[in-house]
Amino acid sequence: MVKTITVQREGLPIDINVRGVDNESQLVHLFFDGSIDNLVELQEKSQNFAKGFDELQVKYPNLTKTGAEVSDQEATSVAKDVIGIMQRAYDLAFGPGTYARLRGAGAGLLGLIETYQPLLSVIQDYVNKMVQDASKRSQGEAQRIVSLQKNRQQRRNRRH
């Protein structure tokens, strides 16, 4: 006889509705992997991601200057760099190929930039809830262990 154990996948499904200029929509299903190993990996890699925008400011100092002239070549180069950063960001959060799937559904770079921060907020809320739930479970487990130890001690005391 075979015993089956089911393990619940940890994560957060998220749907992004990409609406075209003709008001037709395409739904893109994403899944944020909420496993501890993915969260650790995400934490490590996200530090490198934040450096990407800092490097843009160093590479293109005119970007932050009000009224500064930016050449067409420089604008194209900046756009390519931002696309690379956003591609890494989406693929890091939701798995390889996510940025390409969103672009394939018709999402543009500006829309994906605007959408990313609200997505991060949803993910952060999910992670915070996971941490709170884990804390409650561990407190409950600790109380259960203390209770079991007390019961054992009481049984031992009754025997003697």
With helix as H, strand as E and coil as C, how does the chain read?
CCCCCCCCCCEEEEEEEEECCCCCEEEEEEEEECCHHHHHHHHHHHHHHHHHHHHHHHHCHHHHCCCCCCCHHHHHHHHHHHHHHHHHHHHHHHCCCHHHHHHHCCCCHHHHHHHHHHHHHHHHHHHHHHHHHHHHHHHHHHHHHHHHHHHHHHHHHHHC
What confidence score (pLDDT) does residue 144 get? 65
Q: What integer best gives the mean pLDDT of the chain?
A: 84
What 15-20 contacts at long range (C-beta under 8 Å, 24+ apart), as own/partner pairs, is: 16/102, 16/105, 16/107, 16/115, 18/102, 18/105, 18/106, 18/107, 18/111, 20/106
Tens-digit pLDDT profile for residues 77-106 = 888 999 999 999 899 889 999 999 999 999
Which pTM was predicted?
0.73
- What value does the mean pLDDT take over residues 30-50? 82
Tens-digit pLDDT profile for residues 15-30 = 999 998 888 899 999 9
Cα 160 from Cα 153, distance rounded (Å): 11
**Cβ atoms 73, 58 nearer than 8 A:** no
What confidence score (pLDDT) does residue 98 get? 96
| Percentage of residues in the chain having pLDDT higher than 90 | 32
**Chain-centroid distance, C-alpha 5:** 28
- What value does the mean pLDDT take over residues 135-145? 69
Residues 6 or more apart from 112 whose CB is under 8 A from it?
86, 90, 99, 102, 103
**Chain-centroid distance, C-alpha 48:** 14
